Structure 1
Amino acid sequence: MSPRPSPPSPGLVDARALPRYAAGAFPVPFVIQSMSERVEQDTVWQEHSHPTHELIWHENGASSATVGRRRWTITRSMGLWIPAGTPHSGRMPAGSTYRAHQFSVSATPALAAEAVGIELTPLLRLLLERLGENGLADASRALTEEMVLDVMRPSPRRLLLELPQSPLLRPIADRCQDSPSDTTTLAEWSSLLGVSSRTITRSFLAETGVGFSQWVATAKAQHAIAALTRGESLDDVAEQVGYASASAFSTAFRRVTGTSPGRFRTGG
């Protein structure tokens, strides 16, 4: 009988420093190279870049990746493509299992000029899992790699947060990220900052592409995903992110992510 994996150790942080490489900084002897890892502690990857393109997704759990001013959420159903040479950092809660695939710059086309979300369809997931098998014959590997490149496409859906930088919006962004249970309304922020609600709304649209309410809901959903990954109850998660009930939280979560908290937890 195989030994059971040790339980994760939340609260302890594994800080990882990786080098920065330019795209194609050195040749690699593969088309697609795959690896997976279950992190036993909360893990932070400091900003780094790869000489290869990278696709990251989860077998279970979730993580966040920051690319420039954008903070992406990576799940079982939504991966992230990061072009070679693109600086990025990451954060992952204990107990999560992720898969990372490195794509040779010389052997594969760039899927996009910047980071994009990739929907992990059942077919794409099966193909990528096959590339992780030991002893896969060269001909089978080459065929599988061709199929991966054929079916992998950027997704119109994405779970990301564009981080505002202006002095006007930073207090709002900082409060939402540091205290996700905060329920300060647009009108209340207008009074606190001494500007009109319309000014705040226009600033959010200009800096992030979405309005105040949608930005706040997405920030709360990102916090909720981490809590759901830790196995916390819907009632507790709803309270942590400032919703009066689990049903109100579920409605908002579905609006942002396209799935319910329960389906997300089970990987559906």
Structure 2
Amino acid sequence: MPLWNEHSPSFEWTDPDLVPRPVVSIGATGIVMESLDRQDADFRHQPAIDFHRHLKGELLLALRGVMTCEVENGFWIVPPQSAIWVPGGVEHKFTTTGLLECYVVFIDPHAALKLPLTCCSLSTTPLLRELMVRSASLPMLYAEGGMESHLMTLLLDEIALQQVGNLHLPMPTDVRLRKIVDMIMDDPADRGTIQTWARRVGMSERTLARLLVHETGMSFGRWRQQLHLMLAVRWLGAGSSVQQVSDALGYESASSFVTMFRKNLGAPPGRYMAERKPAA
């Protein structure tokens, strides 16, 4: 057990589950850069917090930089000004891109009854972001029953009001499908058809299509497009240009990539990322 007192700084705590408070909030900053010139510029080869789990649930807010969360059956992208919720007990891994500024709230399961039961990305309001920043400045052993506890209660209520985001990539578990996933992630610009990918792993096109829908709820084309969206947000967040991202994803032109991006995320890439830049 760690030694602590009411004045212990947050960095002395190595396990949020050991902190005897229902809600624990911390902040972190750092620099992690990714370049499209690198051959390993994908979800799996970036600086990461390796697979782990907590008894407490974890809400992570990225104010700057882009984060990816991986669980057994899915990936989530967390763009700037967005958050991800990981319920207690769920094994997960974070990877990071760009100049990182993030805030994390650990929540006891008994205090998280109004929060989602599964991992999901969340939109955030200015109030939620300010509450997370403010709560991170409190001592970990804040006084219970006073202003600090009221702040944490308001924080929980505001988290429960947030809308679920759409930058989620469900992952199949079938060995053959996972082989296809690995190959596409190694070379996202490969525009092979579903017939091409089926032949590469010794499956029929019909079997591949049926299995993918069964395990992810998506057609092959829709799944690959969702992967492209997530990679695009990650690379744009690291400072890559629209043209660089378009080329890396194998689009014939930047305009066709922009059209796809706008159709799915509601804004062209430049505006989408500009809206998520933190205030100076």
TM range (shorter): 0.7 to 0.9
> How far 1:66 sits from its partner (Å)?
0.9
Unpaired segments of 5 or more residues in structure 1?
A: 1-18
Q: CA deviation at 1:26?
A: 4.1
Aligned to 1:99: 103
- 1:144–1:116 Cα change, 3 Å: same
Q: Deviations over 1:237-263 (max 9, x none)?
A: 110111112221122223444443213
Counterpart for residue 143 of structure 1: 150
Partner of 1:202: 210
Of 241, 251, 261, the residue aligned with 2:259 is 251
> Match for residue 73 of structure 2?
69
1:112 match: 116
**SS of match in other structure, 1:152:** helix
Judged with a 3 Å threshold, the aligned counterparts in structure 2 of structure 1 residues 148 and 259 are, in CA distance, closer, same or farther, namely farther
Q: Where in structure 2 are the equivalents of 1:49-60 lying within 5 Å?
A: 49-60=53-64
The separation in 1 between residues aligned to 2:131 and 2:263, in whole angstroms, is 30
Aligned to 2:23: 31
**What is the identity, as a one-letter code, of the residue corresponding to 1:36?**
A
Hey, what does 2:7 align to over in structure 1? none
Same amino acid, percent of matched pairs: 26
- Structure 2: which 5+ runs fail to align? 1-13, 34-45
Using the size of structure 1 for normalisation, the TM-score is: 0.79
**Which residue identity does 2:84 align to in structure 1?**
L
Q: Is the 8 A contact 2:63 2:102 kept in 1?
A: yes
The total of aligned residue pairs comes to 246
Rounded Cα–Cα distance in structure 1 between residues aligned with 2:225 and 2:200? 20
Partner residue of 1:84 out of 85, 88, 92: 88
Shift of 1:132: 3.0
| TM superposition score normalised by structure 2 | 0.76
The aligned residue for residue 231 of structure 1 is: 239
Letter of the structure 2 residue corresponding to residue 161 of structure 1: L
Structure 2 SS opposite 1:95: strand
Q: Is the 8 A contact 1:26 1:51 kept in 2?
A: no
Kindly indicate whether the alpha-carbon contact (under 8 Å) linking 1:78 and 1:158 is maintained by their aligned counterparts in 2.
no
